[in-house]
Structure 1
């Protein structure tokens, strides 16, 4: 039974789904003192996932440490799209991995996949290692510089949900994100596409010649510019949109691929 006092406190703090959050906090807390502490942290504005220490994502429960970017449910569209490209024995790389949730979800249930995840932030790398290993390896470094050189030309699926918020737009984000998630996980530069362009430019050196594919998550408003960046890198580009998740993914691959834009509806 839910504590109505807890629900009332969460609702007063602006938690839209106060009843659900109260239930999750109560189920996670091991002692009354821990319950009180968790409620106080949530009321103070910490993201629910940082309070709980975990997040549900694409059917998995992943650890989320304080100060680490919380995986967004809209990124499940990126996961679903990438999973269609994964084959047993393939190589999957998750750049800007944060908790490691995306790469882990992409390879879940597929035999023999070699998974590599990378991030520049040491807190994210530590968190990702607890989530991903031993299913895969996690590396610390700046984008491709973090990866083992023996992966060059061997990657089947290269996915990334990089920082893509324009610098000036960060101030407009909900306080949960702008105050409690690392700025390096949010700030994509002037138009939000600084890292998208860098990933697109480097991808051809790492993708397999015959079937490698790049998948990038960003906003719908950025899709056209991202498609241009992928094409400038020498890959055939397409942008995919899902109405239910309100998500956009730009893909790039060698040779013939999907052309133009596609609007998808989940379900």
Structure 2
């Protein structure tokens, strides 16, 4: 994302990481978000895609394209935004963040998400969400991992926007396998079986929310959690993720 889209005060905050090597190439001096200027330019930024789920729509000439799936079955969320395509080197940085507790990667990726998030509403003169809702982990997985990556990303957005973070807006149910270990068919079969309403869900009634996740693959998780909030009377639902598998 070009520097001209970043307000001066945000650019100043980004430069506080100077002195560390670039997160990506490990050589150049850091200029923003822990990533050098060259690597920022060549990162796999997600291009405009389906207006509902953000997947790339090949050969589309429409200003507001819809993928075949969203045209046939509209999701409960209103729109989806991804900062990057899930490609090298972003895919390995996300794995570093999630599986190896790479908190430097978490910090840099979180700031890149936060900048993209804030810039989207400012540049397009859109009303931002009232609440940030990180996708919850099941308690067993949270205990094993020690942290919820979506919560860390939501915290990063909160620091830039001051939008409150609603924790445990719904409850994740236990499943035999994590979503990322399933193929596309298995993920989609889980829709309706991933989340359930809890006492915090009603706090989204009449509100505008942004669901925060690390990676969007088939949108099964996003669709399931959005269904929960739509049933609870949520007015407007957006999904924001670091990366999108296309």
User: Which of the five TM-score ranges fits, normalised by the shorter chain?
Assistant: 0.3 to 0.5
Greater RCO (Cα-Cα under 8 Å, separation 6 or more): 2
TM-score normalised by L of structure 1: 0.32
TM-score normalised by L of structure 2: 0.34
Give 1 or 2 for the bigger CA radius of gyration. 1
